[in-house]
Amino acid sequence: MADALPSVDALRLDRESWARFGWIPVADSDPADGIGRLEFSWGDPHLNIISHDASEVPRSGDSLVCEMLYRHDSHTQALMVLDNDAVIAVAPASAAFDEAGDIMQLTAFVLHQLDILVLGRGTWHWGPFPVRDSTVHLLNLQGMGYLKDNTMVDLAAAGLACEVRAGG
């Protein structure tokens, strides 16, 4: 019998929990408006709509399996969920993922329609992937040249894949 994968329970998205990974935009009347700043070191901000499909990631029962993470060092990335519940997993930019304990730096969040977040430069991320529906659509603001700045760590190859439990 194969060993069970380690698991991460997804949290509810809120400013405090997300602060290690970026920031959550606030209303223009909020005194905190403007504290978080978008960064595009290549001067190439680009806004589009992207989607992620359930078939992009393996599932283990009710959990999704996180097998890889990505990061962008040249820009922040803003995402807003347009339709279906989703889950995102993130880790601090300082995480190396070169030993088993590193997977403990992974944090997951459940996202609902109209939730919006900004990933800080270099923040490792996976998803957002749909929780129950076949597809999630996202408003996406990131550097146009992200393909030249799309570092990937293969957790599965390093024996560090984990289950992400999205819960309710």
Q: How many domains does the chain have?
A: 1
Q: The pTM is what?
A: 0.93
In this structure, are strands 45-53 and 68-71 parallel, antiparallel, or unpaired? unpaired
Query: What CA–CA distance (Å, rounded) separates 81 from 131?
Result: 12
How many angstroms separate the Cα of 88 from the Cα of each of 1, 78, 121?
29, 13, 16
Q: Please check whether residue 30 lies inside any domain of the structure.
A: no
On whether residue 133 sits in a domain, the answer given is: yes
Are 121 and 74 spatial neighbours (Cβ–Cβ below 8 Å)? Answer: yes
Q: How many CB atoms lie within 10 A of CB 33?
A: 11
pLDDT in tens, the chain (168 residues): 356 788 999 999 999 999 999 999 999 999 999 999 999 999 999 999 999 999 999 998 889 999 999 999 999 999 999 999 999 999 999 998 887 778 889 999 999 999 999 999 999 999 999 998 899 999 999 999 888 888 999 999 998 999 999 975
> Does 102 map to a domain?
yes
Domain CATH for 16? 2.60.120.480
Token reading at 104: 């403990």
Within 8 A by CB and 6+ apart from 4, the residues are: none
- CA–CA distance, 63 with 8 (Å, rounded to integer): 9
User: Distance between CA 138 and CA 102 in Å, rounded?
Assistant: 29
Structural domain span for residue 155: 7-23+36-165
Domain-embedded: residue 2: no
Residue 85 lies in a domain: yes
Residue 114 domain-assigned (yes or no): yes
Whether residue 129 lies inside any domain: the answer is yes
The answer to whether residue 124 is domain-embedded is yes
